[in-house]
Amino acid sequence: MTPVPLTRPDQSPDERRETIERADFPASIPALLDTAADDVPDATLWEFFDEDVSATYAEVQRESRRIGAMLAGQGVTQGSRVAVMLPNIPEMPLAWLGLARLGAVMVPVNIRYSPRELDFLLGNARAELLLIHEDLTSVLDGTDSDVRTLVVGSAGWRDACAAADPENCPETGIDCDDLMNIQYTSGTTGLPKGCLLSHRYWLTTGMVNAWRDGRRFRRILATTPFTYMDPQWLLLMAIYQRGTVVVGRRQSATRFSRWLSEHRIEFCLFPEAATKQPPAPHDADNPVIRANIYGVRPSAHAEIEARYGLTAREAFGMTEIGSGLYMPMEAEDMVGSGSCGRPSPFRETRIVDDAGHEVPEGEIGELLIRGPGMFQGYHENPDATAEVLRDGWFHTGDLFRRDARGYHFIVGRKKDMIRRSGENIACREVEGVLRDMAEIEEVALIPVPDDLRGEEVKAFLTLQNGHAADEAMVGQIIDYASRRLASFKVPRYFEFIETMPRTTSFKVAKSELVKARQDHRIGAFDRVEQVWR
């Protein structure tokens, strides 16, 4: 049995990496839970604070077996695909764990999906059954799917669960490489792709996040939807730690710092939007040991640590790879550097040019990652799989550079570049600079075709409350950008909008911005001509 804790603070990051990579894996996710329940049966595994519901390890073990027995009675067997469309309530992780006991596959469904999106997912995943919350059933009125449905929260659901005997949950021989999820990525273009994720994938991701820092995180916050990756691995991280995952119904920038204080959180994923809130007396009244930050403006990093009294460290991951890079807690000198850190345990990296050759230190290329416990490919999409998985290496599509100490710095998306008069412009860099301006809430850059320069840069902007979207504001933005960017990087066109279009995972949907207008000069302020077009 893997010891708890597995690693220690007095080990170096490299020593902790070696310890993790040598550790024995549980046979499956149910085996991980069962071992923990035997170890700490009366400890609290989860608290759903909006529901005012908690459960011990022993209770989760029993109820996941009950759900498994009930679903087996509905014909779910090893390999069955079951779509689950639930908000952040205990039935969501219980369904995941119950299906895992049967060797079945969960297909998480975003609760904001339209009938069209739900139809696509059910058909593409070949789902045999849909578990849907009673408050969401109106979406079924517009679907063409004939997939059998169980309504969670209904009298029928409650009766079926009450009648199921946990002792009758089938004991399925599950291999570590058996499929556990078809996890759909939202992407910013095209239809979602279903990532095939095994028990090994989840065991690896949970173990790495639990032990790479050598700390005990006894209370772990999860407030993004359980249909996304993060709450799933946060739950497993808690199980490895014998800790408690503290779950909210939905993310809230306005309440986030209060949650850290009220629920005595020790590990969280810190949303940059929380820093836009007015300072509050409770901001630093928390026991947070580590806060993961993703893509936070380098200039805001030290401010987050000072204001909230915590250690914030960058990390980089994707649905396809799990944990890819992380910044060790010891790396205090890297605060504000913008680096995502070094390879996580079980991960190797390369940075290559378009021909696949490794680039010299400090130069920019595409980040490639490999290692055990990554995704098995895209469901029924061999062409997309072959495009990103080559010779065992996953091609992230992200541009990075690496310094002499092995720290990785993200530059932008490979396809999110603008080429203006022969100069390559990384949208991420310019967007980050503009977001640092106090008056700007969000920014997104797109290319605009141009006969002279090939492409020009256009910035879509949303402003903080109380600021006027007028020519004077454009002048302030141009002045701000011109003092911080090379002249060729300063956008030519500026357009103010009320809100940014979003994908279902809340990324800015640049494809929607592009499609909104045929000529993107129209409606924008032209910096060169000094006119609104």
Question: Half-sphere exposure of 240 toward its Cβ, with a 13 Å CA cutoff?
Answer: 33
Establish if 388 belongs to a structural domain: no
Q: How far apart are CA 365 and CA 436, in angstroms?
A: 26
The set of residues, in sequence order, having a beta carbon less than 8 Å from that of 393 and lying 6+ positions away, is 350, 368, 369, 370
Helix ranges, 89-228 (H): 91-102, 115-125, 155-163, 199-211
Token reading at 307: 């204001």
The whole-number pLDDT of residue 114 equals 87
Calculate the CA dihedral of residues 493, 495, 499, 505 and round it to 10 degrees: -20
- Say if residues 418 and 447 touch (Cβ distance below 8 Å): yes
The whole-number pLDDT of residue 188 equals 47
Establish if 174 belongs to a structural domain: yes
Q: Domain ends where: 194, 228, 251?
A: 251
* Type of residue numbered 3: P
- Say if residues 43 and 80 touch (Cβ distance below 8 Å): no
**Residue 351, φ and ψ in degrees, nearest 5:** -125, 120
Q: How far apart are CA 128 and CA 189, in angstroms?
A: 28
Q: How far apart are CA 353 and CA 330, in angstroms?
A: 31
* Type of residue numbered 283: D
Q: How far apart are CA 427 and CA 461, in angstroms?
A: 13
| Number of other CB atoms surrounding residue 42 within 10 Å | 9
- Say if residues 25 and 176 touch (Cβ distance below 8 Å): yes
Could you tell me the CATH number of the domain that includes residue 138? Answer: 3.40.50.12780
Calculate the CA dihedral of residues 145, 149, 154, 155 and round it to 10 degrees: 140
The whole-number pLDDT of residue 187 equals 54
Q: Domain ends where: 231, 251, 271?
A: 251
The set of residues, in sequence order, having a beta carbon less than 8 Å from that of 52 and lying 6+ positions away, is none
Establish if 351 belongs to a structural domain: no
Burial of 138 (0-12, 13-18, 19+ CB in 10 A): exposed
Establish if 278 belongs to a structural domain: no
Q: Domain ends where: 222, 251, 280?
A: 251
Q: Beta partners for 313? A: 292
Mapped onto helix, strand or coil, the DSSP state of residue 150 is strand
Token reading at 112: 């904001």
| Strands 531-532 vs 525-526: parallel, antiparallel or unpaired | antiparallel
Q: How far apart are CA 208 and CA 346, in angstroms?
A: 8
| Strands 193-198 vs 179-185: parallel, antiparallel or unpaired | antiparallel
Q: How far apart are CA 436 and CA 434, in angstroms?
A: 5
Mapped onto helix, strand or coil, the DSSP state of residue 210 is helix
Report DSSP letters for 264-328, one per residue: T-SEEE--GGGGGSPP-TTTT-S--SEEEESS--HHHHHHHHHHHTS-EEEEEEETTTEEEEE--
Number of domains comprising the chain: 2
The whole-number pLDDT of residue 190 equals 59
pLDDT per residue as tens, the chain (533 positions): 678 999 999 999 999 999 999 999 999 999 999 999 999 999 999 999 999 999 999 999 999 999 999 999 999 999 999 999 999 999 999 999 999 999 999 999 999 888 988 999 999 999 999 999 999 999 999 899 999 999 999 999 999 999 999 999 998 899 999 999 999 986 544 578 999 999 999 999 999 999 999 999 999 999 999 999 999 999 999 999 999 999 999 999 899 999 999 999 999 999 988 888 899 999 999 999 999 998 788 888 999 999 999 999 999 999 999 999 999 999 999 999 999 999 999 999 999 999 999 999 999 999 999 999 999 999 999 999 999 999 999 999 999 999 999 999 998 878 788 988 877 788 988 998 999 999 999 999 999 998 888 889 999 999 998 899 999 999 999 999 998 888 889 999 999 999 999 876 678 888 889 888 889 999 999 999 999 98
Calculate the CA dihedral of residues 215, 220, 222, 226 and round it to 10 degrees: 80
CA-to-CA dists, residue 90 to 53, 106, 168, 275, angstroms: 8, 15, 21, 29
| Number of other CB atoms surrounding residue 59 within 10 Å | 17
Establish if 312 belongs to a structural domain: no
**Residue 412, φ and ψ in degrees, nearest 5:** 160, 180
> Which residue segment(s) compose the domain that 425 sits in?
417-532
| Number of other CB atoms surrounding residue 264 within 10 Å | 15
Nearest to 320 by CA among 270, 240, 233, 388: 388
Establish if 505 belongs to a structural domain: yes
Establish if 221 belongs to a structural domain: yes
Could you tell me the CATH number of the domain that includes residue 445? Answer: 3.30.300.30
Mapped onto helix, strand or coil, the DSSP state of residue 113 is coil
Q: How far apart are CA 82 and CA 464, in angstroms?
A: 42
- Say if residues 284 and 305 touch (Cβ distance below 8 Å): no
Establish if 206 belongs to a structural domain: yes
Burial of 423 (0-12, 13-18, 19+ CB in 10 A): middle
Residue 388: DSSP 8-state:
H
CA-to-CA dists, residue 167 to 70, 96, 171, 412, 477, angstroms: 11, 18, 10, 51, 65
| pTM listed for this prediction | 0.86
